[in-house]
Amino acid sequence: MNNIKSLIKSTGLLSVFILSSRIVGFFRDVVFARFFGTNIYAQAFVVAYKLPNMFRDMVGEGATDSAIVPVLSEYRHKKTEEEFWSTARIIFNVMLLTVLILTILGVIFAPSIVRVIVPGFSKDPEKFKIAVLLTRCVFPYIIFLGIVAYSKGVLNSINHFTMPAIAPVALNIVMMIFMIFLCPVIGIMAVVAGIIFGGFIQVALQMPILIKKGLKFDKTFRLIHPVSAKIVKLIIPRILGSALYQASILIDTVLASLSGIVGVGGVAALYYAHKLIHLPIALFAISLSTASLPRLSKEIALKDLDQFKHTIQFSLKIIFTAMAPATIGFMLLSKPIIIILFQRGEFNEYSTLITANSLFFYALGLFAYAGIKILVNAFYAMGDTKTPVKISSVSLILNFVLNLILMWPFKIGGLALATSLAAIYNFFMLYSQLARRAEGLASRELLLYCKKILISSLIMGISIVILKKIFLNTISSDIMSVLKVLIVIGIASTVYLIAGYFTGMEFTRDITVFFKKKINRVKN
């Protein structure tokens, strides 16, 4: 029970900081949409920012943590403090050399990268030229991303979660400030400048803490060490697994550039929809997976399989409880949400239509995107790096085939739908394999819990349909429309909690009881 309470506390703390980052990030996207909408500069920037974003998602939110944390945790508990920090310094050297090489290659081969990512841009010389220029300007950001990912891994290994969670807030604030004050003067280059300076600020926030804790640098640039080989052995399959997921997003981008099939503005529409769909994933899945990885690794090391299975089951219940209402909300309120968030300036009604369509279909796979992060960590904790990669490989092929089938009838929404269906396949294959490896994973118990979630979600969905007719007959981007949408979301969320309480969903009961106590205290 103490382990679970500690997990909840760590997850809650991370969620608060991630929520802060996403809120600021949302306003950053609103400002970006205000200046660029889905025009040529928006599409070129999305392409330029694609690879650094993929690198961040692969290394910053997955591979680095799952490789560095277990290795450094072992050194921390079994070696001296001096050996721990000496090892950490060598890992830094390897990471720095890697990102420097990647940056140089990215700048040199930017034209080829753009041709591969968005072949449709080659037909428009101006759009292609802008995309190449922005790609070359943004690529150095990968250097800062690598150092930030390293810092996060080392700090998490010593149970310091706060600053790595705060740092992204700084990036979003810097980008937003640069856009507000410099976009009217230098246009899209203001966004690029904001990214580079924001990356520097992220490093400046974390490195002093590492140095204070014990990290030291010397004149030698050591790369060879037993731990280097161990981390490379661990990190390559993890990067490959993450890369396969990112490749599915990249495939969407490539096909979205084929405007003759999916329509104009598809690249930017997928970008905005993907940003929104990642909000609940970041709040719950990323924070929970970050907090649970050291715990799962420890439970495997101690051969406490019962607690290991309990942690997985508990984590999935939290994920499903949170993702279900988010899925219903995004699907039934996709258009009102896009209107109040983005429809202003260059972001017109057509932009709203294609972005809302993408959001609707992305939402179908929300539980799978989130659940995969928990299940993959469970495999990594068990020392199995091959199974997630194999399943992701099949999922990638499935995603590509579904894209080719669905992009014709559903246009841009078909690409999002294909990604969701492939993610759902990925999740169920991971879960079935894990259930075989960890006997007694209580699949029956989880299924019964999901039935309760399904009933509560259905009731919530009915309430949204009714509330839309009452409040959302006419909707725009003014303050009254924002309030109307918030009212609908608030009432629907309350309906979900109440329905969950009566169906016996433990987490909604805990929340309901918490609010009951607060209300009674106020009355007394």
Model pLDDT for residues 264-309, shown as the tens digit of each residue: 888 889 988 988 998 898 888 877 877 777 678 777 777 788 888 8
- Shared domain check, 462 and 364: no
**Per-residue burial over 497-511, b = 16 or more CB atoms within 10 Å of its CB, e = otherwise:** bbbbbebebebbeee
Model pLDDT for residues 212-271, shown as the tens digit of each residue: 888 877 667 676 666 667 767 767 777 777 777 777 777 888 888 886 777 888 888 998
Domain count, the chain: 2
Q: What is the predicted pLDDT for the residue at 519?
A: 56
- Shared domain check, 258 and 183: yes
Q: Among 414, 441, 468, give the residue marking a domain's end.
A: 441
Averaged pLDDT for residues 179-204: 94
- Shared domain check, 388 and 342: yes
- What percent of the chain stands above pLDDT 70? 86
pLDDT at 331 over 90: yes
What's at 107, amino acid-wise?
Answer: V
- Shared domain check, 472 and 339: no
Q: Which residue has the tokens 């500069």?
A: 41
Q: Which residue has the higher pLDDT, 311 or 453?
A: 453
- Shared domain check, 491 and 344: no
Q: What is the predicted pLDDT for the residue at 204?
A: 93
How many of the other CB atoms lie within 10 Å of CB of 172?
21
Q: Which residue has the higher pLDDT, 240 or 174?
A: 174
The first and second tokens of residue 292, run together, are: 């649970």
- Shared domain check, 500 and 416: no
Q: What is the predicted pLDDT for the residue at 73?
A: 65
Q: What is the predicted pLDDT for the residue at 164?
A: 81
Q: What is the predicted pLDDT for the residue at 128?
A: 92
CB-based contact 22:283 (threshold 8 Å): yes
Instruction: Quote the radius of gyration of the chain (alpha carbons, Å).
Output: 23
Q: Which residue has the higher pLDDT, 211 or 12?
A: 211
- Shared domain check, 462 and 417: no
- Shared domain check, 433 and 496: no
- Shared domain check, 400 and 448: no
Model pLDDT for residues 444-502, shown as the tens digit of each residue: 888 899 999 999 999 999 999 999 999 998 888 889 999 999 999 999 999 999 999 89
Model pLDDT for residues 376-396, shown as the tens digit of each residue: 888 888 878 789 889 999 999
Q: What is the predicted pLDDT for the residue at 130?
A: 93
Q: Among 415, 441, 467, give the residue marking a domain's end.
A: 441
Integer angstrom CA distances of residue 24 from 18, 33, 214, 279, 370: 10, 14, 32, 12, 22
C-alpha to C-alpha distance for 476 and 458, rounded to whole angstroms:
27
Give the range of the structural domain holding residue 356, as residue numbers without chain letter: 2-441
- Shared domain check, 455 and 435: no
Confidence of residue 88 (pLDDT cuts 50, 70, 90): confident
Q: Among 394, 415, 441, give the residue marking a domain's end.
A: 441
- Shared domain check, 455 and 425: no
- Shared domain check, 449 and 407: no
Q: What is the predicted pLDDT for the residue at 514?
A: 53
Model pLDDT for residues 104-162, shown as the tens digit of each residue: 999 999 999 888 888 888 888 898 999 999 999 999 999 998 898 888 878 877 767 77
